């Protein structure tokens, strides 16, 4: 019995099948700034900053590494006696005193989201047929009609759902303009355009 795949250029078919295993869409694993262990901290007056780099995983994390975007979970505790607004009364600086310029959440999302339309390329598998030949008969099975659309649609759905969850979490933990009252703790997710893990400090603006 002979089995052959035809009606699709060999190099395209092999490439697409290989990509289907290594380039699949992924879901978004929540960062959950409220529950992660923080590894670094800084304090000014009665305000405590805690933070952790490298909190993104899966395809989002790989994309952040490739684009030199640092995604950081932060926790700010106000142990003072006055209200403080993040981004106005409280800012982040580097150890040299230079103010940290944070990426807007919308820009961070746009840079790191998956591209569902890319997975339409798997539709190129649609013309693929499976030819089965025995000593007495032969048959043709249009496997591409199932394989191409299935891989394409499945990845598009996963990517879209992952992006939705990623954006929802970024919006939820956007600290810019948030009022932090005395005794309160607030968690956030910030993005920096930098290839390095820089030391961060909290500064109270008088």
Q: Where are the domains of the chain?
A: 2-204
pLDDT tens sequence across 66-81: 999 999 999 999 999 9
Phi, psi of 104 (to 5 degrees): -60, 145
Task: Classify 145 as helix, strand or coil.
Answer: helix
Name the DSSP letter for residue 28. Answer: P
Reply yes or no on whether the pLDDT at 12 is more than 50. no
Determine the pLDDT at residue 24. Answer: 74
Given a cut of 90, is residue 51 above it in pLDDT?
A: yes
Mean pLDDT of 27-35: 92
Residue 200 has pLDDT above 80, yes or no: yes
pLDDT over 70 for what percent of the chain?
70
Give ∠ CA 188-161-52 in degrees, rounded to 5.
25
Instruction: Classify 154 as helix, strand or coil.
Output: helix
The whole model's pTM is what?
Answer: 0.74
Instruction: State the Cα–Cα distance between residues 160 and 178, nearest whole angstrom.
Output: 29
Contacts of 41-44 with CB under 8 Å at 24 or more apart are 42/199, 42/200, 42/201, 42/202, 43/202, 44/201, 44/202, 44/203, 44/204
Q: What is the pLDDT of residue 104?
A: 96
């Amino acid at each position: 019995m002979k089995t052959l795949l035809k009606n699709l250029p060999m190099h395209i078919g092999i490439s697409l099948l290989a990509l289907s295993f290594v380039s699949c869409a992924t879901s978004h694993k929540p960062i959950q700034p409220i529950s992660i262990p923080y590894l670094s901290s800084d304090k000014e007056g009665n305000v405590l900053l805690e933070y952790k780099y490298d909190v993104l995983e899966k395809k989002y994390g790989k994309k952040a590494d490739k684009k030199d975007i640092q995604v950081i979970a932060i926790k700010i505790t106000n142990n003072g006696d006055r209200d403080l607004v993040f981004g106005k009364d409280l800012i982040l600086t580097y150890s040299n005193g230079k103010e940290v310029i944070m990426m807007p959440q919308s820009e961070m999302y746009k840079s790191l989201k998956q591209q569902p339309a890319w997975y339409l390329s798997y539709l190129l598998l649609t013309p693929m047929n499976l030819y089965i030949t025995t000593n007495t008969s032969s048959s043709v099975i249009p496997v591409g009609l199932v394989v191409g659309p299935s891989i394409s649609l499945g990845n598009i759905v996963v990517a879209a759902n992952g992006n939705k969850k990623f954006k929802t979490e970024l919006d939820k933990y956007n600290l810019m303009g948030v009022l932090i009252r005395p005794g309160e703790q607030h968690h956030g997710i910030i993005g920096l355009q930098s290839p390095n893990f820089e030391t961060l400090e909290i500064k109270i603006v008088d």
